[in-house]
Chain A
Amino acid sequence: MAEHDISAELQRSVQLALANPAGKGLRIRSGNTRGHLLPGDVTDEAIPALDTGRHTGVIHYQPDELVLRARSGTPLAELESLLAEHGQEFAAAIPQPGRASTLGGAIACGWDGPARPYGMSLRDTVLGCRMVNGRGDSVNFGGQVMKNVAGYDLARLQVGALGTLGLLLDVSLRLLPRPEFSVSRVFAVPEQQLPEWWGRTRALRPLLRGTCYLEGLLHLRLCGRERAVKAAMASLGGEESALDWRALGDLRHPFFCTDQLACVNLPPQSAFRPATGSSMVEWEGARVWVRDGDHVQLQQQAREHNGFVEVFRGKAMRLPAPAREWQRRLRNAFDPEGLFNRALYTAHFHGSEADPCR
């Protein structure tokens, strides 16, 4: 794995941008595998890019501690291979839209994979980070231990912040032992029977790692000790599923190959049937992907179910900003000059009258 520490260079770039108040701010990029899935212009070539792609390598990894600290530009795939050598994995399955997907990009986006309701989300596994804030200062929050309540939890706050609060230099994440054994089963299930199935999957919880309902088929993934998984499988029945869970989690499954893609976030076990497009249900009904649908209509429908729509491909829509004032003040507290990822901030956090659409 390439070891490059370019912290000083990155910090200097931020300080230089600060010294130029008339500048266009900075655009943070590294693997460039997620930009096309983010409404808000992240590819505006006129804005200087801060490239963390060369800031790579593991700072600390001791398998006993179940903690990994690595630089933000390190490709996730390389980190996963290292962990696998020690029989470990990230405690949250992190989506990797491409081979070049990096740790920093994953934290900035904060996306979660199929296992999210049954274990930890990515934000749950963040223990600490070092970052350069909008004052050009290099600051470290959290740490490498499991429990830590010293100061505000500013490390976890970076998850899903899309780099609008600062430039991540390194991140410490919680790890878990790799499961000994895993299987996937598939069942032909009419849509109206799904709620009944969510009652059944509850009982599989300690072993369940994914549920996916697509084209009339319900796929379940179980992981754990071999003896336990085999016993559960025997009582469950069904056929062996060929679903590629990895491709599903990485948003590379053929279902996602479309120009019109949205994700509806809902309360668990929602009986949500999109009136538009074709759908795939994950997370026991708490996440419904819709392709080729009318996003405006979808948003209206999601609201009726206490949910909201996140557009991945297509014309962006304003996200609800329930605590808009706090968001604005927080951005200001980290980045008073508004240096970092202005377009993403406007599209995702500002909720202003400005049209965030591409």
Chain B
Amino acid sequence: MTEGQGAPIVTELRRAISAGRVLDRREQVAPFECDALPVYCERPLAVVLARNEEDVVTTVRLCRQHSVPLVTRGAGTGLSAGAKPYGRGVLLVTAPMSEILSLSPERMTARVQPGAINEHISRAAAAHGLYYAPDPSSQIACSIGGNVAENAGGVHCLKYGVTVHNVVALRIVTIEGDVMAVGGDTLSHPGYDLLALVHGSEGCLGVVTEVTVRLTPLPAQTRTLMADFASIRAASDAVSGIVRAGVIPAAMEMMDALAISATEEFCHAGYALDAAAILIIDLDGDPDEVAAELALVREVLRYSGATRVQLADSETQRALWWKGRKSAFPAIGRLSPDYYCIDGTVPRHRIGDVLEAIDAFSHRYNLRVANVFHAGDGNLHPIIMFDSREVDALDRVELLAADILEYCIEVGGTITGEHGVGMEKINQMAVQFSDLEIAQFLAVKQALDPKGLLNPDKLIPTLAHCQEYRAIRERRRESSDG
């Protein structure tokens, strides 16, 4: 692995930014070699801990001048290796820029630095009866800059939208090192919708240095239902039934038997260990509306074959049910030395089919899969359990993940709902999109980052890579058919 010492850019970064904030010794950069998908690791040439927008501008300009790749990292909680550094590149960490700069209760907005932690924004807004709605499972640790880069979702985005629906303005440093304001306090903006373009662009188009988020009034009331089902199919049908009945719950989450047993053992939330699936449903808003919708949802759950329906009778009980759901990943981590979480989204009415297919695929590769996911918006999170010490385990995991994601495309869905493409799903981009579509993505990238220095080789594959992967896939299919 290359040591940064002696590289001209490192010397210049040191001179321009304070020396203590430019790390290049092996032991200093090692903690930054991966994000929350440690399957992909590489030690960067240097790490810059940015304090402010000037540090970002300086770093971007020097990278451009030296033609050195630049990867931006927020809190490093990403699940698709979008923040994996390059050995010959600089890793720009915006986590130290974590201030909430201002909060306007009248305009219901908060202006924050990119390293601000998602949950801290809601905490600051609570005094004004407001909160920041998108709530990824990592919200206690993830940064808002990373949320913008991935267009992060969360449990409550069925009703309140994902990041792109809840951000009104950004400041971005372009690859030329210019600071650009996008969006603003008005509800409509002149020009192309650059806010939409930047959300989910995974740091490939610029570096976000400030985010103005829209805040939402805290609901007057939230009621939570938990329903047990004897089959996954029945639980899936109930999800569609609730939407058909004209109700949009604030959240509608599903867990299968394996996920239930793992989490129950971990945090004793009171889940039914004999259920094949459970649904946790939040209804919030005006108390009269909540009461009317509660009655409707209960009725749908009853005719969908729920074996038991419970209404949380206290805030403590609500919190406990949700604690179980939110700690499902670490709980599953206790059952297996390693786990790998994927993120396809499918039309709601196909959830049952896809879960059955996942079960069949998992037998093919002799791997266990737990499912805990955002059923309301069809966003699946199959968690593959494995032991990386087994010789071919990771290969089998990758093949199983590819089969699942490609099946999501087949039923009319997508390979990623909220975790992003990063490096992880770069192959499946070739399945979801045609060469002409990939070429249009590449044209956008080329237009805004002509030298391809910003997070290179992530999100959009090259056309050569697409053709290569499609050929491998074809051969694999032929051999499995034969």
Partner of B460, one of A151, A161, A321: A151
Q: Which of A74-82, A93-101, A330-338 contacts B (4 or more CB under 8 A)?
A: A330-338
Q: Which of B142-163 contact A (CB under 8 A)?
A: 150-151, 153, 157-158, 161-162
Chain B residues whose C-beta falls within 8 Å of the C-beta of A62 in the assembled complex: 347, 349
Contact (A145, B421) CB under 8 Å given A66-B243, A138-B436, A202-B217: no
Q: Is A117 on the interface with B (CB-CB < 8 A)?
A: yes
23 sampled A-B residue pairs with Cβ under 8 A: A110-B193, A120-B161, A140-B437, A143-B414, A145-B377, A147-B418, A149-B150, A149-B414, A149-B420, A150-B429, A151-B421, A151-B429, A152-B441, A152-B460, A160-B192, A165-B192, A177-B248, A265-B186, A286-B186, A306-B186, A322-B190, A327-B192, A330-B448
Q: Which residues B242-271 have CB closer than 8 A to chain A?
A: 243-244, 246-248
**Interface positions of A from 243 to 260, Cβ below 8 Å from B:** none
B234 proximal to A (CB < 8 A): no
Which of A116, A120, A349 contacts B165 (CB under 8 A)? A120
A137 and B436 form a contact (CB under 8 A): yes
Interface flag for B468 (CB, 8 Å)? no
Q: Is there a chain B Cβ closer than 8 Å to A283's Cβ?
A: yes
Cβ-neighbour of B193 out of A65, A160, A205, A287 (below 8 A):
A160
Assembly CA distance A283 to B186 (angstroms): 11
Give which listed residue, A147, A177, A205, A349, contacts B379 with CB less than 8 A. A147
Do A141 and B437 touch (CB < 8 A)? yes
Known: A144-B347, A177-B248, A268-B106. A154 touches B441 (CB 8 A): yes
- Among B18-26, B286-294, B391-399, B473-481, the one that faces the other chain is B286-294
Contact status B289-A206, CB under 8 Å = yes
Cβ contacts under 8 Å, B194 to chain A: 323, 326-327
Q: For B150, B157, B188, B412, which residue has the most chain A Cβ atoms within 10 angstroms?
A: B188
Identity of the chain A residue whose Cβ is nearest the Cβ of B158 in the assembled complex:
A146
Please name all residues of chain A whose beta carbon is closer than 8 Å to the beta carbon of B444 when the two chains form the complex: 152, 154, 330, 333-334
Q: A64-B243, A147-B157 are in contact. List 10 more A-B contacts (CB 8 A).
A: A116-B187, A137-B440, A143-B414, A147-B417, A148-B414, A150-B416, A151-B459, A160-B193, A308-B190, A323-B181
Cβ-based interface call for A124 (8 A):
yes
A181–B388 Cα distance when bound, in Å, is: 57
List, in ascending order, chain A residues with CB within 8 A of B412's CB.
143-145
- Which residue from A64, A124, A306, A326 sits with its C-beta under 8 Å from B244? A64
- Are A139 and B434 interface neighbours, CB within 8 A? yes
> Which among B181, B288, B417 has the greatest number of chain A C-beta atoms within 10 A?
B288
Interface range, B side: 35 or more
Report if A349-B191 is in contact (Cβ < 8 Å); known contacts: A64-B348, A227-B291, A232-B286: yes
Over the window 310-324 of chain A, the binary record of Cβ atoms lying under 8 Å from chain B Cβ atoms (1 yes, 0 no) is 100000000111110
The answer to whether B197 touches A117 (Cβ under 8 A) is no
With contacts A140-B437, A206-B289 taken as known, whether A267 is within 8 angstroms of B348 at the C-beta atoms is no
Task: Say yes or no for A34: interface residue by CB 8 A criterion.
Answer: no
- List A residues at the B interface (Cβ < 8 Å): 62-67, 87, 110, 112, 116-117, 120-121, 123-124, 133, 137-141, 143-154, 156-157, 159-161, 165, 176-178, 180, 198, 202, 205-207, 224-228, 231-232, 265-269, 283, 286-287, 306-308, 310, 319-323, 325-327, 329-330, 332-334, 348-349
> Cβ of A64: which chain B residues have Cβ within 8 Å of it?
240, 243-244, 348-349
Query: Could you mark each residue 175-191 of chain B with 1 if its beta carbon is under 8 Å from any beta carbon of chain A, else 0?
Result: 00010111011111111
B201 lies within 8 A of chain A by Cβ:
yes
B217 contacts across to A, CB distance below 8 A: 202, 205
Within the assembled complex, what's the spacing in Å between the Cα atoms of A159 and B456?
A: 28
A148 lies within 8 A of B345 (CB): yes
Q: Is the CB of A332 within 8 A of B447?
A: yes
Question: For residue A332, which residues in chain B have a CB less than 8 angstroms away from its CB?
Answer: 447
A351 to B, closest residue via Cβ = B191
Which residues of A are found within 8 Å of B460, using beta-carbon distances?
Answer: 151-152
Residues of the A chain whose Cβ atoms lie less than 8 Å from the Cβ of B287: 228
